[in-house]
Amino acid sequence: MLSEISDWFWQERLWFPEGLGWADLEDRDGRVYAKARDLWVALPIALVFLIIRQIFERIVATPLASLLGVKDTVRLKAPHNPTLESYYCNITKTPNQSSVASLCKKTGYSERQVQRWFRRRRNQDRPSLLKKFREASWRFTFYLLAFIAGLAALIDVSTTLLPSQYWYYMIELGFYGSLLFSVASDVKRKDFKEQIVHHVATILLISFSWCVNYIRCGTLIMLVHDSSDYLLESAKMFNYAGWRNACNYIFIVFAAVFIVTRLVIFPFWIIYCTWVYPVTIYEPFFGYYFFNGLLMTLQCLHIFWAVLIIRIAIRFLMDDDRSDKDETDESEEEEEEEAGAKKHMKKNGPVQNGHAVHNNNHSKRK
């Protein structure tokens, strides 16, 4: 049965224009072509990347974070409460006013205590600055090296598959595979769903372009993406380190490179060459629509991200406060409450759950 599915999936009329087939991609006369079976190599490479990443984050990223002054805010833990914990995990992390009132009756807490508990519990789940910095530094290192490797891979215009192109493809595919494997444990951002779509579309594009020998086109697509990604990750690193001016300048450069590569070069050069030019030679076929459909999916994501990037860039240029709760690690409200509690304790003695313990041994109910 698997053999029948494989034969149906790889039938030539799906992936090639009329008159061409897999036989045209067989090695001959010293020319070597990509093989679909080569893609299996990307799986162990993805696993190796996961291991290398753990080593890199501990040995390189953590000392670098300390050198740049990345500091984590000490967060207060929410006291153990099965009722609130169950509500937090199973219903919502941000209860409305009526829900807070209901929880007050069930736990004996005041509204302020319930709200404080949920705020502290949410803070516990938020990733630390160190974790964000280590992730950004890992991606920065890979994207920078991949960009340099992509430039080198495009220099040679040989018509045969070169070892450098082979390894460039496999390493890129393995890296995006590792991102897909680790997405559950990585910092979850607002564009989490878009990131998943991006990773899947990228993996499919790399795999498909390899199978049908669109090597130079695939290399150019990966190069265009890597050209701006390392700038974004470096801006994040400086942001987490508190180097605001360096972060702002790098982000402006990133925004310019992103717009030129993703909104100009990608659609008007690459997609034009894959969408318009081929139909002047061959009749459209399934592989043609499949490949360009993936490219259009990426382009839609590019437009989505470009809108967000332009908004942030405008705030930079207007010297606006660009604090983003998803990109910073602020706990000012918690710190203010604790400062107030300590001040209150100095005046009135010990406190319990934010309320003074009275000298007559009658304390506010929890």
Q: What is the CATH number of the domain that holds 103?
A: 1.10.10.60
- Please check the confidence at residue 329 and state whether its pLDDT lies above 50: no
Residue 327 lies in a domain: no
**pLDDT at res. 319:** 60
Token pair 């998943």 is found at 196
CB-count burial class (<10 Å; 0-12, 13-18, 19+) for 205: buried
Residues 49-82 pLDDT 10s: 999 999 999 999 999 999 988 877 677 788 888 8
Are residues 50 and 155 both part of a single domain? yes
Residue-number span of the structural domain to which 151 is assigned:
31-67+128-320
Q: Hey, which bits of 80-229 come out as E strands?
A: none
Please indicate, yes or no, if residue 326 is contained in any of the structural domains.
Answer: no
| Range of lowest pLDDT (70-84, 130-144, 251-265, 325-339) | 325-339
- Assess if residue 336 is contained within a domain: no
> Which of the two residues, 154 and 133, has the higher pLDDT score?
133
User: CA 128, CA 148: separation in Å to the nearest integer?
Assistant: 31
Same domain? 119 vs 163: no
pLDDT value, residue 326: 40
- pLDDT reading at 237 higher than 50: yes
313 vs 113: which has the higher pLDDT: 113
CA 151, 307, 321, 194 dihedral sign is: negative
Q: In this structure, is residue 3 part of a structural domain?
A: no
Q: What is the mean pLDDT of residues 122-148?
A: 90
Q: What is the pLDDT of residue 136?
A: 94
- Report d(CA 50, CA 174) in Å as an integer: 10
- Regarding whether 57 and 206 lie in a shared domain, the answer is yes
Q: Are residues 147 and 268 in the same domain?
A: yes
Do the strands 355-356 and 351-352 form a parallel or antiparallel pair, or are they unpaired?
antiparallel
Q: What is the pLDDT of residue 262?
A: 94
pLDDT tens sequence across 243-269: 988 998 999 999 999 999 999 999 999
Return the DSSP state at 198: H
Give the number of other Cβ atoms within 10 Å of residue 190's Cβ. 12
Is residue 239 located within the same domain as residue 91? no
**Structure letter (DSSP) for residue 221:** H
> What is the number of structural domains in the chain?
2
Of 125, 141, 156, the last residue of a domain is 125
- Looking at the structure, do residues 223 and 100 belong to the same domain, yes or no? no
Q: Is residue 93 located within the same domain as residue 37?
A: no
